[in-house]
Every structure is written in structure tokens, then in C-alpha cells.
Amino acid sequence: MSAFYRSVKAGDILVKKSKVRKNPENLSRKVILWGMGLLLVILFIFIVKGLSSAVTPSSSTSGSSTASNSTSPTGSATAEIKGKVQEVSLNISAAGYNPNKLVVRKGIIVRILTSSTADAGCERGVMIPDFNINEPLDIGSDVLEFTPDKTGTFEFMCQMRMTKGILEVIS
């Protein structure tokens, strides 16, 4: 009788103990999970905000007066054919690329005559991924040459992919 009583008591205590032990554990695990979730959400918001604020200034000040997204052209220039090459000028500054749409012809050497200001940071590193171009350009005047072998609308961008322009290759 007393042994039975004792075992019941011990069982009670065990149940109580495990309940007591379980609850705070679950609670702290929940708190940690919620905390991590919240942190992720905050981090995500910061990243998105950082990206948009990095893109907005370059677009709002790029050359022409019309405010627009940095990927939409603020001005367009068509390359001029001169003998065996086609030439087009591109101004590079902290404000971005001006014009930010270049129209060129397929199969003819494109010579982009760049003029970069000293305040142009990574914008002087021009990439055209579709044509495997990644060219660091000098402050002042420099030349970027390549021959487009396909038609279509492509993007050119700074090496950090923040400032963008459009390269349209026509036949």
C-alpha cells in the first residue's frame, strides 16, 4: 500500500516535473523561432530598402529631366556608322549612364566612346553580360569595343549591377 502510494507520488512528481520542464522549453523555443523570423523580416526589409535607395538616386538624376526608373531610358543614341565601325558616345558619371539606351547594328564593330567623370564610381566598370563584356574604363575618355553577334534588347550595367542601361541590337 505504501509502496503503491509512493510510486503514484513519484509518478505525480515526474509528470509535474516534466510539465514544468516542458513548458518553458517550448516557450523559449517559440520565442527564439519568432525572434529569428522577425529578424529575417527586418533584414529583408533593410536589403530591399538599401537596394531601392541605391537605385533611385542614380535614376532620378541621370541626365534628362524626366524622372524614371534606372532601367528605362532617359535618352537614346543610335551608333553612327563610320567605315567599318559604328560609333556612339556614352557619358558616365555618378548620376549614371547618359544616354542610357544605345542602339547599334548587328555584325559591325561597336565603338563606344566613353567620357567618365572622376565621381563616377563603379559605373566606370561596364558590363554587358550577354556579350561577355566586363570593362573597367578610364576617367576621361576611353573606348569600349565589341561586335554584337545577335539582335535583341540587352542590358548594360555597372559592375555592381546598380546602374543600368539598355543596349538594343538591330539587324
Q: Write out the residues near Cu ion by the rule CB under 5 A.
A: 122, 158, 160, 162
DSSP 91-128: EEETTEEES-EEEEETTSEEEEEEEE-TT--GGGEEEE
CB of 74 to Cu ion, least distance (A): 17
Q: How far apart are the first and last CA of the chain?
A: 100
CB of 155 to Cu ion, least distance (A): 13
- The whole-angstrom separation of Cα 120 and Cα 92 is 6
Nearer to Cu ion among residue 79 and residue 95 (C-beta): 95
Nearer to Cu ion among residue 113 and residue 122 (C-beta): 122
Q: Which residue is nearest to Cu ion (CB)?
A: 158
CB of 158 to Cu ion, least distance (A): 3
Cell of 125: 566598370
Nearer to Cu ion among residue 86 and residue 100 (C-beta): 100
Q: What angle do CA 35, 39, 41 make, to 5 degrees?
A: 120
CB of 162 to Cu ion, least distance (A): 4
